[in-house]
Amino acid sequence: MNSSPLINQLIESFRCLPGVGPKSAQRMTLFLLERNRAGGLKLSESLASALNNVGNCRECRNLTEHELCSICENKSRDPGLCCVVESPADILAIEQAGSYRGVYFVLMGRLSPIDGIGPAQLGINSLIEKVRTKSIKEVILACNPTVEGDATAYYIAEQLKFEDIKVTRIAHGIPVGGELEFVDGGTLNHAFSGRKSMLDNESNGGE
């Protein structure tokens, strides 16, 4: 550690970022102090402003500084098509792919009882209420293809089983154990076009 408590504190602060270890945190700290103090000040101001003003969209729970995010406010989006994702990063990945024109619901996580994350923490009751009150015709489950993501998708599908809607899940092209934010646009487009029903009564004509 450096002899300066303030420098050590800044190094430790950088380590809260994912993938940043002691050496990387030290490099970033020294770079800002030695070569780019103006950039460091801009970074601190932007970070403080975002932390103080960014909250969750009233409709979809995406991150925004307004009551409604830009996607929910966009009248050209199809309000009858709702894509359920685990995080705002997944929305960015899907939007960059460019083919999806519906709305979203962000879980802000996935079911993980060992970590104390259950349906209430994911806002699943809010999702069901949204389905019942917003004339949604199809829910697309775009949970990541992990053990927890699979469990979350199937749980939501079961909760929507008796609603008069179509429930699908993106299927093709997403690698098992992968994360949506790291998947390229072409793969995501293929996954959306090949989504499959998760409810038996949809696959057999409702019999």
pLDDT, one tens digit per residue, over 103-132 is 999 999 999 988 999 999 999 999 999 999
pLDDT band at 177 (very low <50, low <70, confident <90, very high): confident
pLDDT band at 172 (very low <50, low <70, confident <90, very high): low
Average pLDDT over residues 144-151: 87
- Every domain of the chain and the residues it spans: 5-53, 73-203
The predicted pLDDT at position 206 comes to 44
The predicted pLDDT at position 176 comes to 66
Q: Alpha-carbon distance 149 to 145, whole Å? A: 6
Model pTM? 0.79
pLDDT cut 90: percent of the chain above it:
72
The predicted pLDDT at position 205 comes to 46
Q: Alpha-carbon distance 37 to 30, whole Å? A: 10
The predicted pLDDT at position 188 comes to 82
Residue 196: pLDDT above 80? no
Residue 105 half-sphere exposure, CB side, CA atoms within 13 Å? Answer: 27
Average pLDDT over residues 179-200: 77
pLDDT band at 198 (very low <50, low <70, confident <90, very high): confident
Same fold, 5-53 and 73-203: no
Q: Alpha-carbon distance 26 to 13, whole Å? A: 10
The 10 Å CB-count burial string (b at 16+, else e) for 96-118 is ebeebebbbbbbbebbeeeeebe
Average pLDDT, the chain: 90
Question: Could you tell me which CATH class the domain 5-53 is placed in?
Answer: mainly alpha
The predicted pLDDT at position 171 comes to 67
CATH 3.40.1360.10, applies to 73-203: yes
pLDDT band at 200 (very low <50, low <70, confident <90, very high): low
Q: Give the per-residue SS3 of 73-111.
A: HCCCCEEEEEEEECCHHHHHHHHHHCCCCEEEEECCCCC
Shortest CA distance to 92 belongs to which of 191, 197, 196, 179?
Answer: 179
The predicted pLDDT at position 195 comes to 75
